Chains A and B, each alone.
Chain A
Amino acid sequence: MLEFVLSSFALLGIIPIGMALVTEIKEEPTAIVWESDIEKVVKKATSAGKPILMDFFSPT
């Protein structure tokens, strides 16, 4: 009985930790996250402190 009670308490402690760990795992993007609006990009770059990569393309 004591074993059962202790293991239940252990589970109660482990489950939330496990769930927290699962929510921490973020999936990496599977493609480049391109923007299309230069004003939005400048704002994002300024706030993130990152440079901008601008790809000019010709649609086929």
Chain B
Amino acid sequence: MDTVTYPNTAVIDYINKNFIPIQVNIKTSVDLLTKYRVFWTPAILILDSRGTEYYRIEGFLPSDEFIPQLKFGLGRMALEKGDYKKASSELKVVIDTYPKSDAAPAAQYWLGVSDYKATHNTDALLSAWREIMKDYPNSIWAHKVSFAF
């Protein structure tokens, strides 16, 4: 990550603007390693401002997959916190801007959930999930929604 992904200017800009970033040396920070149950590196965790974990990325990712994963993580965090407007917004950015990324079908799945949670409208859920069947038929997310169609 330090030699390929983190020097990428888009990654630098995105992280500096959207996060307070911290690097943790696993050899000297056993307390954090234990607290967050990290056993392999690289491990990148998205925490809220109080230090509660909401999403993690394990293993190397190039910048074109890393940025959508970060955006997806922010969307998932907003969803879990019940901020459906923000969740849907973040997830839509992943789908619209990075449609070929691995995060896109997952974002489409959770966008349906977010829209449903916000409106309690089943049509919103099914409409979002139908897009998975259309755009990402070979993804695991298509399997997850296949029962509905």
Smallest CB separation, A51 vs chain B (Å): 6
Given known pairs A44-B20, A50-B18, A52-B46, the reply for A32 and B26 (CB within 8 Å) is no
Segment 48-62 of B: residues with Cβ below 8 Å from A: 48-51, 54
State which of A33, A34, A50, A54 has its C-beta within 8 Å of the C-beta of B45.
A54
Tell me whether B33 is interfacial, beta carbon within 8 Å.
yes
Interface readout for B3-28 with A: 1 if CB under 8 Å, 0 if not? 00011000111011011111111110
Smallest CB separation, A21 vs chain B (Å): 22
Residues of A near B33 (CB, < 8 A) are 56
Tell me whether B1 is interfacial, beta carbon within 8 Å.
yes
Smallest CB separation, B31 vs chain A (Å): 9
Residues of B near A51 (CB, < 8 A) are 18-20, 46-49, 54, 74, 77
Q: Please state if A35 and B22 are interface contacts (CB–CB under 8 Å).
A: yes
Q: Please state if B24 and A56 are interface contacts (CB–CB under 8 Å).
A: yes
Residues of A near B43 (CB, < 8 A) are 55-56
CA distance A29 to B7 in the complex (A): 11
CA distance A56 to B59 in the complex (A): 11
Tell me whether A48 is interfacial, beta carbon within 8 Å.
yes
Segment 23-46 of B: residues with Cβ below 8 Å from A: 23-27, 32-33, 36, 38, 41-46
A-B contact pairs, 15 of them (CB 8 A): A28-B12, A28-B16, A31-B12, A32-B21, A37-B22, A42-B51, A44-B20, A45-B48, A46-B49, A50-B20, A52-B19, A53-B22, A54-B32, A57-B25, A59-B25
- Which residues in A have some Cβ–Cβ distance to B below 8 Å? 28-38, 41-42, 44-46, 48-59
- Which residues in B have some Cβ–Cβ distance to A below 8 Å? 1-2, 6-7, 11-13, 15-16, 18-27, 32-33, 36, 38, 41-51, 54, 70, 74, 77
Q: A42's closest neighbor in chain B, by CB?
A: B51
Residues of A near B25 (CB, < 8 A) are 57-59
CA distance A52 to B49 in the complex (A): 6
